Amino acid sequence: MFTDGIGVGCHEREDKEKCSVCREDPQHRPEEIQMATLPRRGITTMGRDGPQTFAEAMNRAKNLQATQEIGQLKIAEKMKKALQSMQGRCSVCLIHRPQEREKHLLKECPSLRGQLGVSWSEYIDWRRKLWYQKHHQKICFVCHVPQITDELHPTMTKAKMDGVGCEYADIIAPMVFGMYHEGGVKRKAEECFREKWESENGFAGWLMGKPKGKSYSNMVDLFMWYMEETKE
């Protein structure tokens, strides 16, 4: 006997055991049984604080996404201020000749050959080792600025693959290169990041390595660390 009233009733088969309904009312008609309906409720999921409806889960996800987006906007704004403070200044001289305010092209930097003892071609050879991997996302390979927002760095297009239009070119890469060649800064950075850079190649490998957590790159983290350390 089906409980929905459809099928064979107990009274139709003499060899079948009677159900409680048939025993109480042998003359009843199974097809006339009225099924009680269950109250409709929202689909529930399990959250950290217990069951929640689908709508509640959606709202929670939207709130989390909004919080993450606000966090990204703050990171972008902080990075933009740091980069803007370096515009018009040589990032190598900032580390090795902090009092130097004379504007010059990176190729003509007196600190590069003087304090670092590195020629322009040697620096370019090192810079060529800065290739981004699959674990990096949305980073300009020319200026090394992550594309968090269009205000920080516009989305890269094929028309701009030659680097034309990069507002912050020759800031981040020359700075971290200068940091590697300044003993005191290098030691502090190694202590902070719990690393030991034995060579320029090893240093470049770490810069392009997989960053921790949700960081964009080790290079950006190192740049921002120095800017925070020296913030007046």
Q: What does the pLDDT read at residue 159?
A: 46
Residue burial 54-76, b: 16+ Cβ < 10 Å; e: rest: eeebeeeeeeeeeeeeeeeeebb
Euclidean distance between the first and final Cα of the chain, in Å? 85
Q: Sort 29 into a burial class: Cβ within 10 Å, 0-12 / 13-18 / 19+.
A: exposed
Q: Is residue 171 a contact partner of residue 79, using CB atoms and an 8 Å limit?
A: no
Report the alpha-carbon angle 211-215-220, nearest 5. 85
pLDDT surpasses 80 at 19: no
Pairing of strands 44-47, 50-53: antiparallel
Domain chopping of the chain, boundaries:
51-229
Q: Which two tokens stand for residue 22?
A: 């048939």
Name the nearest CA neighbour of 43 among 53, 31, 33. Answer: 53
Token pair 């034995």: residue: 198
Structure tokens at 118: 């590195």
Q: Which of 107, 227, 136 minimizes the C-alpha distance to 179?
A: 227
Model confidence band, residue 197 (pLDDT cutoffs 50, 70, 90) = very high
pTM for the structure as a whole:
0.67
- pLDDT of 53 > 80? The answer is no
Q: Over pLDDT 90: what percentage of the chain?
A: 41
How many other C-beta atoms can be found within 10 angstroms of the C-beta atom of residue 92?
A: 26
Coil, strand or helix at 51 = strand
Q: What percent of the chain has pLDDT over 70?
A: 68
- CA atoms within a 13 Å half-sphere pointing along the CA-CB vector of 94: 22
Average pLDDT over residues 133-160: 81
pLDDT at 163 over 50: no
Six-digit token string for 194: 């719990």
Q: How many CB atoms lie within 10 A of CB 91?
A: 22
Q: Where is pLDDT greater, at 26 or 84?
A: 84
The type of residue at 82 is A
Q: What is the mean pLDDT of the chain?
A: 79
Question: Cβ(152)–Cβ(80) under 8 Å?
Answer: yes
* pLDDT exceeds cutoff 50 at 18: yes
Report the 10 Å Cβ neighbour count for 18.
14
Distance of alpha carbon 89 from alpha carbon 158, whole angstroms: 29
Q: Which two tokens stand for residue 69?
A: 């987006």
DSSP characters for 89-118?
A: S-HHHHHH-TT------GGG-HHHHTTS--
